[in-house]
Amino acid sequence: MRLPPGPPEGLFGLGFYRTLRRDRLAALAHVARTYGDVATFRMGPQRLALLNHPDYVEDVLVTRARLFKKGRALERAKRLLGEGLLTAEGESHLQQRRLVQPAFHKPRIAGYAASMVAHAQRAADRWRDGEQLDVAAEMTRLTLTIAGETLFGTDVEADAGAVRQALTTVFDAFPLTMSPFAPWLEKLPLPSVKRYERAQATLDRLIYRIIEDRRRRQDDRGDLLSMLLLARDEEGNGGRMTDRQVRDEAMTLFLAGHETTANALSWTWYLVAQQPDVERRLHDEVDAVLGDRAASVDDFARLPYTRMVLSESMRLYPPAWAVGRRAIEDFDVNTYTLPKGTVVLVSQYLLHRDARFYEEPERFDPDRWLPDRQKGRPKYAYFPFGGGNRVCIGESFAWMEGVLVLATLARRWRLELRETEPIPTQPGITLRPRRPIRMQAYRR
């Protein structure tokens, strides 16, 4: 078996693990730069391979997807998410995907647009001229409220602070979760383990409350939660969805449905504020298209520049910064063979900033999404939503929400960055800003 090159494995395979723990993105970039598009390293007993070319992304996510299962991060995420859509495998995944899919059909997404705009307007009404905001907290509150209403028909705005706090704790535990010693460490009464358990309990309480509320009312509002509960009830005992499954699915959609879009929006404001010409064109577009009226679903197609801004922001700061898959058999890449059990990583963060596919890759330039300038770029040089049978189910939801929220807020407010130092990234389960992004709101 011929293994690809990679950094020295060191004692117990922990040589590179320390580097990785210090700065995950820099460490992966170093591996790709030094060892090429196919590289391998170890994290204790676990072998990983970094495949850093769009052809390999397609290979792993689409063409040879059947050779892989979900990777270690998502297996570990089962602790919080259980067996929801994001973590389930095989037949169970297929069944759940079919069940949940109707909530994301085009007419349903169109139906959510009004709620997206209404909540963005409420935020725009709440802000005061000259007020300093923590943009990431604001965007989380907004996307959480939208997910709560559209998917669960419930108001969770008051819970936004607690959810953000609980998720921060879960994210802070990410290095522990990913440690090769996690199965042992998690059994110890460490303060970080206790904090994690409390955070999980907070999220569980909220999800169960939402489910219980709905069950008591026994109404079918046609939203996702009603669908989940109906799927459970229809079959009676031994049915398709147990209470636990409803909880897992609801938790998955609740978290996946707001955290990623909150990050995308936060980074977008951060980038736009640093580029006055982009900000001006964004304002010009929303003024021309919307004038003084509220946005509607039909405006989505009329706001191409706003969409390009969002595309470009998710290029530089992809909320999902890497996708991992575990090989269920030995597999060949290029002239190498990787053994069964290897966790394969493909990274949006690395490929979206790769000079082979993007001129001046570090530059925030929404115009690179003009159709002419996309010619010749491989499809999987950009994959913020993944690909293949596990592609993000919420992709259209996210585009609709991102564009309408940006347009609604930009129509009324200009956000000025109040940071002198660049905001570092925190690559945990998603790519969060490491600290609050302080911005000052000015009425337009």
Question: Under rule CB under 6 A, which residues in 37-66 are in contact with ligand HEM?
Answer: none
Stretch that binds ligand HEM, among 15-23, 39-47, 172-180, 393-401 (CB under 6 A): 393-401
- Within 8 A by CB and 6+ apart from 291, the residues are none
Q: Which is nearer to ligand HEM, 7 or 206 (CB)?
A: 206
Nearer CB in complex with ligand HEM: 6/319: 319
**What ranges in 160-303 are assigned the alpha helix state H?**
160-172, 174-178, 182-185, 191-217, 224-234, 243-256, 259-273, 276-290
Does the protein bind ligand HEM through residue 196 (CB under 6 A)? no
Q: What Å distances lie between residue 258 and 29, 313, 333, CA to CA?
A: 28, 17, 36
Cα 136 off chain centre by: 14
Tokens of 275: 């580029």
Nearer to ligand HEM, 6 or 387 (CB): 387
Question: Does residue 384 touch ligand HEM according to CB under 6 A?
Answer: yes
308-337 positions binding ligand HEM, by CB under 6 A = 319-320, 323
Which residue lies nearer to ligand HEM by CB, 7 or 178? 178
What span, in angstroms and rounded, lies between the C-alpha atoms of 216 and 62? 42
Helices of type H across 39-159? 54-58, 72-81, 90-100, 106-126, 135-152
Cβ atoms within 10 A of the Cβ of 287, count?
13
Q: Does 398 participate in binding ligand HEM (rule CB under 6 A)? A: yes
Q: How far apart are CA 306 and CA 402, in angstroms?
A: 9
In the complex with ligand HEM, which residue's Cβ is closer, 140 or 252? 252
* Distance in Å, CB of 155 to ligand HEM, minimum: 17
Point out which span in 21-29, 134-142, 210-218, 250-258 binds ligand HEM (CB under 6 A).
250-258
Q: Verify binding: residue 385, ligand HEM, rule CB under 6 A.
A: yes
- Among 27, 113, 272, 393, the residue binding ligand HEM under the rule CB under 6 A is 393
Among 41, 300, 364, 397, binds ligand HEM (CB under 6 A): 397
Q: How far apart are CA 33 and CA 6, in angstroms?
A: 11
Contacting residues toward ligand HEM, per CB under 6 A: 70, 85-86, 97, 252-253, 256-257, 260-261, 264, 319-320, 323, 384-386, 390, 392-394, 397-398
